[in-house]
Amino acid sequence: SGVFVFEQSTTSSGASVVRLGMSHVSLDLGPVEVRNGEGIFVLFPDVAAQDILDDQNVVVGQIPGSTGGLAGRISADVNIDVPGVAIGGNFGVSINNLDREVNESLSISDTESIDLTLPAGPYFKVEAIGATIAIGSVVLGADVSFEKDSSGEIVIAANKVSLDLGSDIVRVTDGSGVLIITPASPGVAGGLTGQFEVTVELNIPEVTFEGTFGLKINQLPDPFPARNITLGTETLTVDV
């Protein structure tokens, strides 16, 4: 169930733009439960360049054309429960294969609309917020994201990382970090930059240990400027 909207509009050049929106989507497929699904997808057509004519029908300029493509995002709360394994969290995917930024909005109802704002493509991002994986008594939790932009740069972020092994012997909490993979370009070497921090607690007979461990790395030839990465509602900072 859910609310679905299909819209087709015509641009000033006569091209048709197709928009598909969805909200409040729920779905039950046996062990898979989907709630609060929301998404918007926009299909842009190829647009040919147009000549600009004066009153003598002489070409005096040209309106550039554009390449069509697909842009959109979708997210939902997903729970999967099979014998011995449980997976849950809010999962989302964003994609833009156009060579330009996308700023779109689609009305779902009189009081609700869905916005789509994405950087120029090719762009891809997958995100899991409040994700948990439970296998027996072992539970891993985290917010995580994977993002690749038009330059080929890859950003992998994690926050609120925790690991419960089902006993008090080892416990991992407060893990967070960012890894950025910079692609090589003519005259510029690529490499890996990032940092990670995690708290580990160890409890064994007559021995108790707790500490926070961190790692920083920069394979680039120059210092990496401080940078903020958004993950869910949190901001992570890379400063190496």
What pLDDT score was predicted for residue 222? 85
Pick from 211, 209, 89, 220: nearest CA to 159: 89
Q: What is the mean predicted confidence (pLDDT) over 182-186?
A: 89
* Confidence check: pLDDT of 13 > 70: no
| Residue 150 tokens, joined | 């038009």
pLDDT digits (tens, 9 = 90+) for 219-232: 988 888 899 999 99
What pLDDT score was predicted for residue 223? 86
What pLDDT score was predicted for residue 40? 97
Q: What is the mean predicted confidence (pLDDT) over 103-129?
A: 94
Q: What is the mean predicted confidence (pLDDT) over 177-189?
A: 90
φ/ψ bin of 152: left (φ > 0), alpha (ψ from -120 to 50), beta (otherwise): left
In our burial notation (b when 16+ CB lie closer than 10 A, e otherwise), range 8-47 reads eeeeeeebeeebbbbbebeeeeeeebbeebbbbbbebbeb
What pLDDT score was predicted for residue 65? 65
What pLDDT score was predicted for residue 85? 95
Name which of 32-36, 55-59, 76-80, 220-224 the model is least confident about: 55-59
What pLDDT score was predicted for residue 189? 83
Structural contact between residues 74 and 39, judged by C-beta atoms closer than 8 angstroms? yes
Structural contact between residues 17 and 9, judged by C-beta atoms closer than 8 angstroms? yes
pTM of this prediction exceeds 0.85: yes
Name which of 42-51, 55-64, 102-111, 226-235 the model is least confident about: 55-64
| Residue 180 tokens, joined | 């950025």
What pLDDT score was predicted for residue 212? 95
Tell me the C-alpha to C-alpha distance, in Å, between residue 189 and each of 195, 216, 220, 226: 20, 19, 7, 19
- Work out the number of other CB atoms within 10 angstroms of the CB of residue 235: 10
* Confidence check: pLDDT of 186 > 70: yes
**For residue 165, what pLDDT band results from cuts at 50, 70 and 90?**
confident
**For residue 69, what pLDDT band results from cuts at 50, 70 and 90?**
very high
Q: What is the mean predicted confidence (pLDDT) over 41-52?
A: 82
| Residues with Cβ within 8 Å of residue 233, at least 6 apart in sequence | none
Q: In this structure, what DSSP letter does residue 188 have?
A: B
